[in-house]
Amino acid sequence: MKGIQGTSNKTYRQLMGNGLRYEIPKFQRDYSWEAEHWDDLWQDIRALLGDEDNEHYMGYLVLQTSNNKEFQIIDGQQRLTTMSLLILSTLKCLKELVDSGIEAENNLKRKDSLLNSYIGYVDPVTLISNNKLKLNRNSDDYYQIVN
């Protein structure tokens, strides 16, 4: 039996902004973070704003792959999903700013950049969403591309 293989430190940007896809295996539990978990993460994010190093240890992410393009998340799905939900919330706020005409052009660029970097894209031919993260069947509605 082999030990841990291929360990590395990556930022959220490096992890999600790399064109790879991540999936929660069927055997994993549903998304279950509640207010106290969210609050802990939010306080960590707020603390980063005043930190010159701007780094925060988010814990281990254990992945399994057979092709180095699509990965199953063995450990770390709650954190990864929550970070993605924060991005989706930001996208919704940017869409509201665009719809209200507040810096519409710049906020549309921000929205498109965040969407393509961290969430996924809509195929221009089939109009099918290609999300970077696929949750299990009970939780996948949490994670949908914002139009």
Residue pair 107/58 in contact by the 8 Å Cβ criterion: no
Chain centroid, CA 93 distance in Å: 16
∠ at Cα 96 (92, 102), nearest 5°?
135
The verdict on residue 3 lying in a domain is no
**pLDDT confidence tier of residue 36, bands split at 50, 70 and 90:** very high
Domain that holds residue 85: 12-142
- Whole-prediction pTM: 0.81
Give tens-digit pLDDT for 55-93: 777 778 899 988 888 999 999 999 899 999 899 999 999
Find the helix or strand (DSSP H, E) in which 99 lies: helix 77-99
Lookup: tokens for 51 = 């930190």
Instruction: Please write the tens of the pLDDT for every residue from 122-142.
Output: 888 888 878 899 888 776 665
| Per-residue model confidence (pLDDT) at position 46 | 84
pLDDT band, very low/low/confident/very high, at 147 (cuts 50, 70, 90): very low
Q: Average pLDDT over the chain, rounded to whole?
A: 85
Q: Is residue 137 part of a domain?
A: yes
Q: Number of structural domains, the chain?
A: 1
Residue 101 Cα distances to 87, 108, 114, 116, angstroms = 21, 10, 19, 22
Is 6 a member of any domain?
A: no
Supply the DSSP string of 41-89, one letter for each residue. Answer: HHHHHHHHHT-SS--------EEEESSSSEEEEEE-HHHHHHHHHHHHH
